């Protein structure tokens, strides 16, 4: 659950802040005329994201690299057009307003299309790695996904409600700063795609840009969050300095209520950003804390087989065995006695989805180290999902005999 709270927050929060600031600017600069642009951008982004999520996961028609390149170009072009048309509003009010609103609508849709398809695909990814269509683990992951979205949504609403209490000029510059952070990220994405697809020749400078942006991708998220902190800071300064006159108690109560709302929205923005930062740092470090696999146990090699006696694995816990090849690789396999049964779950200590990361035992359950999927112990030894890769074995005279020749067929799985 925690893993999906973190991943949802990291994926969506910068986009939510950008869109919230765009909404606030449209409301202040265009009043009721901007509603069409807002709803057009939202509808276009939501529908295209759902279609793209299906095409990326259900077909092979989408090249994610090329899609990212196209979206980056569209976003940057829409941003440039917005500034051009916004500058023309004084000379050509009608064309300037229509052009700038259209550009913002396209920008909203492009920002959503860049992040939402991956989020929409989370349930499919979770289900693909599960052994059961309905399980407690599956439910917790979906709950984590929903909680992450809820945190991002509240953050976006708080940023928007705080921003609309500022002046139009202040919101314009805050929005510009947030979109500038997003633009730098998009330029890095474009460079990465152009080099990866060999549309341009790499050099030390471009490689440095790609390397830095890939290794420090969180900086763009924290950059957007830092920009949004300007809103509560300005609002609180404004409240402390304000000395609005009033003629009667009713006006005084109105002024007091306005200040209370400002403090509440400011506190909400700061609280949401603190919680998000905590999730993306401390909680992420806890969740990603490396799990040490249990040591490989010794089992004798007899007549070309690894021989595991029943006594070695009778306790119902996960046991790990291995064979060292001539090239120095260790091919591992696991054995666990199935609950309420005399049979055993036997398979490679690797799977087709997650590779050789291996499995560990936690609270009587077998868990994939990479994706945290909990195995149904009764299905270990069968193909499917994140189950261990099936290997040949036979049972004779109270022993499990695993042919070494069969293990060598899977040598490529272990690096």
pLDDT band at 293 (very low <50, low <70, confident <90, very high): confident
* CA dihedral over 258, 263, 266, 267, signed as positive or negative: negative
Structural domain contains residue 295: no
Q: Has residue 293 been placed in a domain?
A: no
DSSP count for the chain of H helices, then E strands: 13, 10
- Within-domain flag for 250: yes
Q: Are residues 265 and 387 in the same domain?
A: no
**Residue 186 and residue 335 share a domain:** no
Residue 56 and residue 96 in one domain: yes
- Classify 315 as helix, strand or coil: coil
Number of alpha carbons in the 13 Å side-chain half-sphere of residue 380: 27
Domain annotation covers residue 292: no
List the single range of 61-70, 222-231, 242-251, 360-369 with lowest mean pLDDT.
242-251
373 located within any domain? yes
Average pLDDT, the chain: 86
Q: Are residues 117 and 200 in the same domain?
A: yes
Same domain, 71 and 207: yes
- What local confidence, expressed as pLDDT, does residue 229 receive? 94
Residue range 52-60: average pLDDT? 81
Looking at the domain assignment, is residue 95 inside a domain?
Answer: yes
Q: What angle do CA 167, 169, 174 make, to 5 degrees?
A: 95
Residue ranges making up the domain that contains 351 = 301-413
Query: What is the model's pLDDT at position 138?
Result: 76
What's the CA gap between 251 and 261, in Å, rounded? Answer: 15
Phi, psi (5° rounding) for residue 342?
-100, 5
DSSP structure string for 133-198: SS-HHHHHHHHHHHHHHHHHHHHHHHHHHHHTTS-HHHHHHHHHHHHHHHHHHHHHHHHHHHHHTT
Residue 132 has pLDDT above 60, yes or no: no
> Which of 141 and 321 is assigned the larger pLDDT?
321
Q: Is residue 296 part of a domain?
A: no
Is residue 324 within 8 A of residue 347, CB to CB? The reply is no
Q: Are residues 274 and 306 in the same domain?
A: no
Do 272 and 311 fall into the same domain?
no
Residues 6+ apart with CB under 8 A from 114: 15, 68, 71, 75
CA distance 201 to 198: 6
My answer on whether 19 and 97 are in the same domain is: yes
Whether the pLDDT of residue 129 is over 70: the answer is no
Strand partners, 350: none
Per the structure, the count of domains in the chain is 2
Q: Quote the pLDDT of residue 343.
A: 87
């Amino acid at each position: 659950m925690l893993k999906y709270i973190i991943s949802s927050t990291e994926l969506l929060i910068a986009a939510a802040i950008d869109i919230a600031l765009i909404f606030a600017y449209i409301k202040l600069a265009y009043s009721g005329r901007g509603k069409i642009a807002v709803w057009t951008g939202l509808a276009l982004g939501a529908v295209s994201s759902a279609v793209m999520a299906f095409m990326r996961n259900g077909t092979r028609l989408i090249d994610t690299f090329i899609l990212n390149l196209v979206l980056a170009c569209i976003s940057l072009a829409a941003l440039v057009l917005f500034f051009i048309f916004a500058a023309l509003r004084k000379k050509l009010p009608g064309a300037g307003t229509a052009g700038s609103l259209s550009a913002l609508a396209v920008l909203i849709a492009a920002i959503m299309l860049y992040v939402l398809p991956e989020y929409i695909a989370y349930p499919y990814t979770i289900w693909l790695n599960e052994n059961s269509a309905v399980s407690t683990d599956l439910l917790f992951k979906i709950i984590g996904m929903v909680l992450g979205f809820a945190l991002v949504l509240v953050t976006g609403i708080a940023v928007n409600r705080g921003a609309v209490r500022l002046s139009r000029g202040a919101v314009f510059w805050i929005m510009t700063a947030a979109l500038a952070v997003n633009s730098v990220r998009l330029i890095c994405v474009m460079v990465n795609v152009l080099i990866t697809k060999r549309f341009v020749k790499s050099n030390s400078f471009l490689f440095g840009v790609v390397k830095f942006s890939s290794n420090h991708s969180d900086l763009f998220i924290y950059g957007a969050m830092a920009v949004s902190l300007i809103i509560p800071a300005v609002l609180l300064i404004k409240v402390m300095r304000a000395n609005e006159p009033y003629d009667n108690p009713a006006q005084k109560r109105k002024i007091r209520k306005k200040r209370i709302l400002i403090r509440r929205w400011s506190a909400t923005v700061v609280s949401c950003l603190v919680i998000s930062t905590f999730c993306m740092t401390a909680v992420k470090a806890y969740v990603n804390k490396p799990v040490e696999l249990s040591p490989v146990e010794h089992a004798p090699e007899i007549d070309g087989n690894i021989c595991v006696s029943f006594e070695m694995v009778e306790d119902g816990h996960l046991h790990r065995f291995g064979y060292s090849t001539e090239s120095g690789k260790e091919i591992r396999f696991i054995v666990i006695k199935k609950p309420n049964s005399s049979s055993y779950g036997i398979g490679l200590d690797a799977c087709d989805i997650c590779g050789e990361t291996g499995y560990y035992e936690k609270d009587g359950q077998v868990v994939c180290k990479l994706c945290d999927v909990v195995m149904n112990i009764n299905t270990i030894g069968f193909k499917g999902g994140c189950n261990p890769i099936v290997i040949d074995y036979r049972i004779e005279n109270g022993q499990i005999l695993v042919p070494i020749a069969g293990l060598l067929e899977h040598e490529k799985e272990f690096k």
